[in-house]
Every structure is written in structure tokens, then in C-alpha cells.
Structure 1
Amino acid sequence: MPRSAPLIACLLGLLLVAAPAHAASPPPWGTGESQGQDLAISLVTFSPGDDVASWWGHGSLVVEDRRLGAARLYNYGMFSFDSTMLGRYAMGRLEFWVAEASPSATYRFYRSQNRDVRIQELNLTPEQRVEVGRLLATNVLPENRDYLYHHYNDNCVTRLRDMIDRAVGGQLQLADRAVGRMTLREHTRRYTAVSPPMSVLLDFLMNDEIDRPITRWQEAFLPDELERQVAAQQVKMADGQMAPLVAKQWDYYKSDRTPPPEQPPRYAPWMLLLGLAVGGSALGLAYWGRRGGRLPRVLLGLEHVVLGLGLGFPGTALFVMWLFTDHTVTYRNENLFLANPLTLLAVPLGLMLVFGSVRARRWLRVLWLALAGLGVLGVVLKVIPMFDQDNWRLIAFILPISLGFAGAFHLDRVLARAPGAGREPERQPLPSSLKTP
């Protein structure tokens, strides 16, 4: 079964309004009371929200028996906020489940969050509606409801996609074999563009598994993409005629939020400028403090602490996730050439440098030489096809920093070898008028 990715991406706004995980009584479509012509099956799409978990949007299926006046919303995005949740998530073993909820209460909740509620009633035959209702009523039972979450391969939206595809006899997947608009990384970057720091962090943590070409079917891990594909789908009906998969669609609520960008943001130039600035600052501080000044030494040491925390912690976390967790999307990540557990050593060594440790200066010279060498190696290895991770933005940011800091601790040697270094300036003879008698 697929493992979970480093971010919980399904949005769980329904957690407060959902009904108990298993209802007191089964719905009429689960007991056989409902008739196909009385049922309506709808795909509901909720737009992204403010918190990290809701950046991706959310989706659900609604079953309604208009004759019996029963309706339930099926949400595959439920998980437990208990004491073991963080541990399970850290190990990549987070279990989700499907739960029932009141459609009207759910819609009101999302409206209160100023998030779109868009509804597509599916054009299914009576037999297909009965089958979807029966499957959803079966899935919500305690013995069937749980599944191991994977952000891209098995989440609260892919479960809806698979259910709809099963209802139409595989026609959705057949039509979605075409090449997708962009890679999983590009989709991730455009949905996380609301927070550049978090976007860069996620970009750093994920390997080339999300850089491979994908199909439109795989793109439907996103609620908006599934909605778009369902709206464009034509299916063969019982009489052999082709008809739209969507019978009708409408907005329950339209928010004033800006939708996610259609293309991922172009961070690379800004990241390169920032990397050059940070790396150049180390060279500047080293030159300023070449005569032993205290202030430039302290500033350079504090800069090490900040970098050690900002790059060393993510690099160490990435290394640990590769070795000890089920987060397959972090394995064999090329960004470990740029930041890794070695980078974390900049924190204690930087503090030692603040207090004037000569030993710290020697160790920092070795540390940054090693990190710069690894960074350059990571770039050189890209001539080999297997090193194809889309991490040029991270290279543009981190490699200039490593090179700049490595240069800073070798600046004294460079200056010492410069022409004229270490020699006394030649004395000019005094004018005869200033000579003593």
C-alpha cells in the first residue's frame, strides 16, 4: 500500500460538523429501500482555506434520496487528533477514514470559512446511483472505513475519483490516460505559493518521485482537478449514446478568495539573489574581521547559528525520514548534497566562534569546504540520468551560501598569497628640505 507523503494535504474542515463515524442507523440506500430514480449522486468541491492542511481544497460525495428525504455527505478526509497522531504521521503511517455528515451543516461550515462550495450532480443511470450509494454505505462501516493515507496516490479525493470511475465502468480513467498538464511537484508548488517559506521547505523535502511525467488521472489527487475532469467527461449511457457526466452544476457559495495560480511561481531568480547575498555577507564579514575585530566575528558566528538551524534542521530531518520512516517521497533526495546533518554542526561551532574560539574557526573551515564540495558534486552528478531531481531552485539558493562561507574561512590564506602580502611598504626618501642638519 502506498506510504504517506511528508504533508497531510487533505483538508478536514468537516471534523467539527461530521456525524459519528458510524451512524446510528444505515441510510435507505444502504438497506435497499432507495430506488435508483429517486437518488442523486453529487460531487462537492470545497476551495482552499487558510491553514496548511486546507491549502489543497477538499471534496466529498453526497447521496440524496429525494423521495424519502434523506441525504448524507461522505468525507474521506477524517483522521484522529489523539496523542499518537504526530508519531504516526512522523513515521508515515497516518490512517484516514470515511465518515458521514449532514450536507447542509457541512456547507454552512465551509461558508463560514469563506470557502467555495461547488456542486456537480452526476449524470448516472438509476442502477449506477444505487451501486454508488450501496458502496458508500458499505465503506463507512467500522470494518471498512480506514485506509492508509498517501498525499498523491490515496487521499480523500482519489477515493472519490475511484468511486466515480467504478460507477461509469472505468470510462473516467480511460479518458484520463492523456499526459497531465504538469508534474506533481509543479502542482504542489502552485498550491503552496500562498506561503513561500513553506513552499520552499516542501520543495526541499521531496525527491524526484514527484518529477516524473504523470497522467490526467494522477492529477486528480487535487479536488479542483477532479472537478475539472468530471465537468469535461463524456460517458456512454445505457442506450449507447454519449452524454456529459455532469447533469447540472451550481455554486452553493462563492467566496471572494483568489484561486491557486495556474502555474507554479518563479522563485529561482529570487532564491539565487538571496543565496548570493548570504554567501557574500560571509565574505564581507571575513574581510572586515581580518585584523581580529570582535564585532564581525560575533556577527559571523550568529550567522552560522541561523544557517545551522534554517538549513541543518531540515537537512537532518530529511536524512532521518529517508532512513527510518515510510515517507518514500523523501528517499534518496538529492538535496542532501546541499544540506544534511553536517550543516547542523554550524550551530555549536558558530556559538564557539562568537566567543572567540580558534578551534571553531579551524573546524568551520573544514565544515564549509566539505559542504561546498558536496554541493558541487551534486551538480556534477546531474549529467547522469538517474540524478534528475528538479531541485535547481534549491541549488541556486544553498550552493552560493556554502561556497561563500567556504571562501570566508579561506580568505586569510588567499590574502596572504596575494602579491605584496606580508611585505613592508617601501619607504620613500624624505625631501632634502626636511632632512635634519
Structure 2
Amino acid sequence: MKIDRVLQRIILPLFCILLSLEGSAKRYEINLSDSSRISLLTCSPGNELYSIFGHSAIRVSDPMRNLDIVFNYGTFDFFDPNFYPNFVRGRLKYILSVSPYREFKQSYVEEGRWIWEQRLNINLNEKQHLFDSLLINYRPENRYYPYDFFGDNCATRIRDIFVKTIPREITFDYSSFEKGKSFRQLLMPNLIHSHWAKLGINLLLGLPADRVASSWEYMYLPEHLQAAFQHSSLLSDSVKQPFAQQPKVLLEGKQFSDQNIWGTPLQVSLVILLIAAFLSYRDLKSGVKDLWFDRILLILFGLLGVLFTFLWAGTAHRSMVWNFNLLWANPFHLIAVFFLSVKKTRQWMRTYLSVNLIVLIALLITWPFLPQALPWVIYPVVLAMAMRLFVIIQLPHWLEKIIWRR
């Protein structure tokens, strides 16, 4: 066993060196044997945000060649000096990496995640062609690609290379898919234990995420890629045969629990609404109000508005444009908050706040009918803001009766 591991560690780097050299790829061709196997690996979601939607990879094993490696389209370089700027701006390049299967598996053992394997029923020529294509993809000039969460990721790359390199027609089985789901809706089952991550993702995704995905596009998620492979078939000369075998468990993982340290977003939203209701009742009854809570809401909404605007206009994230959350998260609130108690701007502020109140009321009424699915858990917060705007506008002589809280 130790000798096998040493040989594997020698052979894999040698492949990488050969692939980086100039010259014809055929000069360094690695011929698979009849005992070789190529498989789709599907990994269960993890507990971290980057792993919450699972993972897909390709395993190539050949006992006769002492070969057992994994091609992984889901890696990126943390040590790139431009990693964080590129990540934020949506220009992060993902990398096709290659690692020994044992090391790949060990990383999932440490994370407590499942691994399933589906062996492909393809002939030796098809295996060789696929393997050669993967090696060409792994060349330094080819291994980087522009990541797109919905359209170009670790799962779609695998789907596409199988379709392109296997000459026989692959017919995927979509019978297990629940048709008519949008890209956003397809994400939700993976977020059931991560309420705050679910809220954050729902807030950041814009209108494009609400487009209904085709069956082909469902496979951007590893679990749907696995399901499509499960009963897929190969067609050649009118003869059909199964393309992939049934999933086999390679590693048993664990069940992750809810990750909610500060309560759920709905609980926090309801607390904010209760505070707004209490302050509004007190202010309307006494005719005097504090603005500390209103300033907090305006700053919070304004900061979110700046974030949504930046992701829309200042980045390459195609799924974050046309974000209807900007109807309530107005970035201009960050400016308005400084004029909230300035007497000279009283009329201007009344007009500004009145327009925003009208927009919020219209939004609250039409919430279920908007083309973008806004998260219901923030409905109480938006209602709280509308309530406070109404109180500010309606109270007589509101500027003169401010009680400063510093």
C-alpha cells in the first residue's frame, strides 16, 4: 500500500511536468488499460458557505497503470494577490486541478461529507479520448476559466466535457426533476439549515435568478447532475445502453445542524417590527419622538442599497443585476440621514420621505406579485421602515420636537 502511494505521488507530478512542456500532446500520451475506469464523483454539501451546494469531480483510475486521480474544476488560488478584488468583482478565475484520489477523499473525511461514485459505461477508446481531453484541459494555458455560478462551474464543466468528447449521443434522464423551478428556487433545499446564508443569497441575487431553468440548466447543481446521470443512456446505431451505473457510496458523511447563532432572520425582523411599533405608538401619543432608531434603519437600508448597486453596476456578477431589493434599500438614505434634523431642509426631507413611503407601501402591497422573489423574512423590516416614515411625516412640528440621543 505504501509503495502504491509513493508511485502515485511520483506519477501525478510527472504528468503535470509533461503537460507543461512544449510540443505535441501525443508525444506524452498516457495509454489507459482495459481495466481503467472513469467515474462521476458527487460530494454532499458541507457546513461552510463555499461548500453549501455540494461538489462534482471526475475520477480516473487504472490499476494496471497504478493510477487513481481526480480532476476537479472547483478550485481557486487563495494566494493570488488579486484574489479578493477579483472575487468581489466577479472576475475570479477557477482552476482545473488534479490530485490523488486518496487526498481528495481525505479532505472530505475531515469535513464529514458524503462521496458518491457513478462509473461510466464507456469503451476504452472513449475513456482514452476523455482522459486526453482532461489532460489538455489541465495544461497551464487551459486550466483557468471564468467562473459563473449558474452557467459555468464544477458541475457544468463536467457535463459539457462528457458531451463534447464522447462520440456517442448521451441522453440525460430528467424524470426526477421537478419542472418549472427557477435558478433561485433550485438553491433553496441546500439552504434549509443556513437561514442567514439563505437570506444573504436571496438579497444579493437579482432578477436573472428568477428565470425558470431548463432541464439542461438544472445540472448546474451537483445533485441534479448526479440525478441526470443516474438513468442516462448512450445511443449508437439505434442501440441504447446505460451511460452511468447506479451511485455507489464511497464515503459516509454526517448530518449538519442548523447554523444560527443569533436566532433566525425572521425572529430578528419581528423584533425590529415590534420596536418600530412601540416607538410609533409612543411618538403618535406624545407628539414627541426620538430619531435614533430611524437613523439606524436609514443607515442600514442605505448601506444595503450601496452594496446592491455596486454588485449590479460595478461587478461582472450577471446574476446580481436588476435587483428589486433596491426598491426598499435606497442608497440615498445614507445622504438623507444627515439632513433628518436640519431645519433648512425640512420641506425637502418631507418630500423625500413621502416619496419613499409611497414606494414602500406599493412594494408591500405588490410583494407577492413581483417578478423577483423577494425574501419574506425581511417583510417585517420593510413594514417597520414604512411605519417610521409615516410617523416622521405626520407628527406636527416634528423638527422642533426632536429629542437628541447621542
TM bucket (normalised to shorter chain) is 0.7 to 0.9
8 Å contact kept, 2:114–2:252: yes
Q: Note the alpha carbon deviations across 1:25-62, whole angstroms, 9 max, x for none.
A: 45999943424523211111111112111111111101
Among 72, 76, 80, which residue is 2:73 paired with?
A: 76
- The 5 Å alignment of 1:332-411 reads 332-345=322-335, 348=338, 365-378=350-363, 388-391=371-374, 393=376, 396-411=379-394
- The 5 Å alignment of 1:31-430 reads 31-35=28-32, 37-81=34-78, 82-169=80-167, 171-172=169-170, 175-176=173-174, 180=179, 182-236=181-235, 238=236, 240-258=238-256, 276-277=273-274, 279-287=276-284, 290=287, 292=288, 297=290, 300-301=291-292, 303-345=293-335, 348=338, 365-378=350-363, 388-391=371-374, 393=376, 396-413=379-396
TM-score, length of structure 1 as denominator length: 0.74
Change in Cα spacing, 1:410 to 1:379, as seen in structure 2 (3 Å) is closer
Task: Note the C-alpha offset of 1:154.
Answer: 0.3
8 Å contact kept, 2:357–2:390: no
Q: Partners of 2:226 and 2:337 in 1: how far apart?
A: 47
Change in Cα spacing, 1:170 to 1:400, as seen in structure 2 (3 Å) is farther
8 Å contact kept, 2:303–2:334: yes
Q: Secondary structure at the match of 2:17?
A: coil
Q: Which moved more, 1:165-174 or 1:116-125?
A: 165-174
The total of aligned residue pairs comes to 376
Equivalent residue, structure 1, for 2:6: none
- What letter corresponds to residue 393 of structure 2 in structure 1? H
Q: Secondary structure at the match of 2:61?
A: strand
Equivalent residue, structure 2, for 1:429: none
TM-score, length of structure 2 as denominator length: 0.79
Change in Cα spacing, 1:344 to 1:394, as seen in structure 2 (3 Å) is farther
Change in Cα spacing, 1:392 to 1:67, as seen in structure 2 (3 Å) is closer
Equivalent residue, structure 2, for 1:432: none
Change in Cα spacing, 1:258 to 1:382, as seen in structure 2 (3 Å) is closer
Q: Note the alpha carbon deviations across 1:304-355, whole angstroms, 9 max, x for none.
A: 34323433222111112222222222222222111120233465567xx6xx
Change in Cα spacing, 1:211 to 1:410, as seen in structure 2 (3 Å) is same
8 Å contact kept, 1:179–1:213: no
Q: Partners of 1:201 and 1:186 in 2: how far apart?
A: 14
Task: Note the C-alpha offset of 1:227.
Answer: 1.1
Task: Note the C-alpha offset of 1:285.
Answer: 4.4
Task: Note the C-alpha offset of 1:125.
Answer: 1.8
8 Å contact kept, 1:309–1:347: yes
Task: Note the C-alpha offset of 1:381.
Answer: 7.9
Q: Note the alpha carbon deviations across 1:78-125, whole angstroms, 9 max, x for none.
A: 212233112112222111110111111110111111011211111112
Equivalent residue, structure 2, for 1:426: none
Equivalent residue, structure 2, for 1:11: none
Task: Note the C-alpha offset of 1:369.
Answer: 2.5
Q: Note the alpha carbon deviations across 1:219-271, whole angstroms, 9 max, x for none.
A: 111111111111121323x57532322235321211121599xxxxxx99879
Greater radius of gyration (CA): 1
Q: What is the root-mean-square deviation of aligned Cα atoms in Å?
A: 3.7
8 Å contact kept, 1:74–1:100: yes
Q: Partners of 1:21 and 1:192 in 2: how far apart?
A: 41
Q: Partners of 2:299 and 2:243 in 1: how far apart?
A: 51
8 Å contact kept, 1:22–1:142: no
Q: Secondary structure at the match of 2:56?
A: strand
Task: Note the C-alpha offset of 1:289.
Answer: 5.2
- What letter corresponds to residue 41 of structure 1 in structure 2? I
Equivalent residue, structure 2, for 1:10: none
Q: Secondary structure at the match of 1:310?
A: helix
Q: Partners of 1:21 and 1:279 in 2: how far apart?
A: 66
% same residue: 20
Q: Partners of 2:157 and 2:120 in 1: how far apart?
A: 16
Q: Partners of 2:14 and 2:385 in 1: how far apart?
A: 51
Q: Partners of 2:282 and 2:335 in 1: how far apart?
A: 20
Q: Secondary structure at the match of 1:340?
A: coil
Task: Note the C-alpha offset of 1:203.
Answer: 1.1
Where structure 1 has 5 or more consecutive residues not aligned to the other structure, the ranges are 1-18, 261-266, 416-437
8 Å contact kept, 2:126–2:166: yes
Q: Secondary structure at the match of 1:246?
A: coil
Where structure 2 has 5 or more consecutive residues not aligned to the other structure, the ranges are 1-11, 259-263, 399-406
Q: Which moved more, 1:92-101 or 1:395-404?
A: 395-404
- What letter corresponds to residue 312 of structure 2 in structure 1? W
Q: Partners of 1:21 and 1:79 in 2: how far apart?
A: 22
Q: Partners of 2:32 and 2:221 in 1: how far apart?
A: 32
Task: Note the C-alpha offset of 1:165.
Answer: 2.5
Q: Partners of 2:228 and 2:257 in 1: how far apart?
A: 17
